[in-house]
């Protein structure tokens, strides 16, 4: 399935795999080299808050954060606001990741507040939605629709153009379920369904500007399959993005995937 976007988008979610500033700088430098070689791909480095100020936007490479506060200002110890992130060069933020929902207790309502806060200051929001259990009876579609609608509650059509949706089938994330494997064909069904929901919410013109990414277990060996047959515009990469070698291979495979798009 041919993407409507000129470039694929690969988001590197470093999570807590990069433990020191030295490691972060080394991986960043590796990504800068690869980014300069890309023609049909752009990347976002979603890094821990403490490393954000060490990252600089480059050609084909944007700086992102792994979370954002719903609060604008006030007595909220430990929170990092969207405006703070924007002021240090962040252009993208992740909201609603399954690990934040599970570990931090983020509800759909809180995710919606985070989405609106980030969009309100001009950030791009990578909104994660996905089902916990693998299902073949259509119940996965119901779960994703409920989560998507709840997480976008109050988001206007004017702001929605800065949305990116990451489909995150939690059962297919290797860190949690190493033996569960997703397929491009099942992802295609979900990508089409997500786009239909966005179309119904915001209309064709706005929905066509919203990328849909694959956020399951992504590796150099499977990325092309999801890009070429999964109906997605890119991927949200977890553990593999913390390895310079693996992430470089993923980016190169992404570039090659275009040979079947044209």
Nearest to residue 222, comparing CAs of 232, 210, 212? Answer: 232
Helices 139-151 and 184-202: crossing angle in degrees, nearest 10, is 40
- Is 258 within 8 Å of 240 (Cβ atoms)? no
**Token pair listed for 59:** 């050609």
Does the annotation count 168 as an active-site position? Answer: yes
User: What is the spatial distance between Cα 262 and Cα 242, in angstroms, rounded to a whole number?
Assistant: 31
Torsion 9-171-97-194 (CA) sign: positive
Catalytic choice (131, 168, 228, 253): 168
Helix (H) or strand (E) holding 207: helix 204-207
Among 47, 117, 38, 126, CA closest to 89: 47
Is 97 a catalytic site residue?
yes
Q: Which of 97, 99, 228, 253 is catalytic?
A: 97
Q: How many CA atoms lie within 13 A of 232 on its CB side?
A: 32
Active site residues: 97, 168
């Amino acid at each position: 399935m041919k993407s409507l976007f000129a470039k694929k988008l690969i988001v590197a979610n470093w999570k807590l795999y990069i433990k020191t500033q030295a490691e972060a700088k080394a991986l960043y430098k590796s990504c800068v080299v690869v980014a300069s070689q890309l023609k049909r791909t752009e990347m976002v480095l979603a890094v821990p808050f403490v490393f954000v100020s060490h990252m600089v936007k480059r050609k084909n490479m944007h700086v992102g954060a792994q979370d954002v506060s719903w609060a604008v200002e006030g007595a909220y110890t430990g929170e990092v606001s969207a405006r703070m992130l924007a002021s240090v060069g962040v252009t993208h933020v992740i909201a609603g990741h399954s690990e934040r929902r599970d570990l931090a207790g983020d509800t759909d309502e809180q995710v919606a507040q985070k989405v609106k806060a980030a969009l309100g200051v001009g950030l791009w929001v990578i909104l994660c939605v996905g089902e916990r259990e693998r299902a073949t009876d259509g119940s996965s579609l119901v779960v994703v629709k409920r989560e998507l609608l709840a997480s976008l509650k109050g988001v206007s059509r004017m702001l929605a153009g800065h949305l990116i949706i990451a489909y995150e089938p939690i059962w297919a994330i290797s860190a949690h379920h190493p033996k569960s494997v997703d397929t491009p064909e099942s992802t295609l069904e979900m990508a089409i369904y997500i786009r239909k929901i966005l179309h119904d919410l915001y209309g064709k013109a706005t929905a066509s500007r919203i990328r849909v990414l694959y956020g399951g277990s992504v590796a150099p060996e499977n990325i092309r399959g999801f890009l070429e047959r999964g109906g997605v515009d890119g991927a949200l990469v977890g553990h593999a993005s913390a390895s310079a070698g693996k992430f470089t291979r993923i980016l190169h495979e992404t570039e090659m995937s275009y040979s079947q798009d044209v």
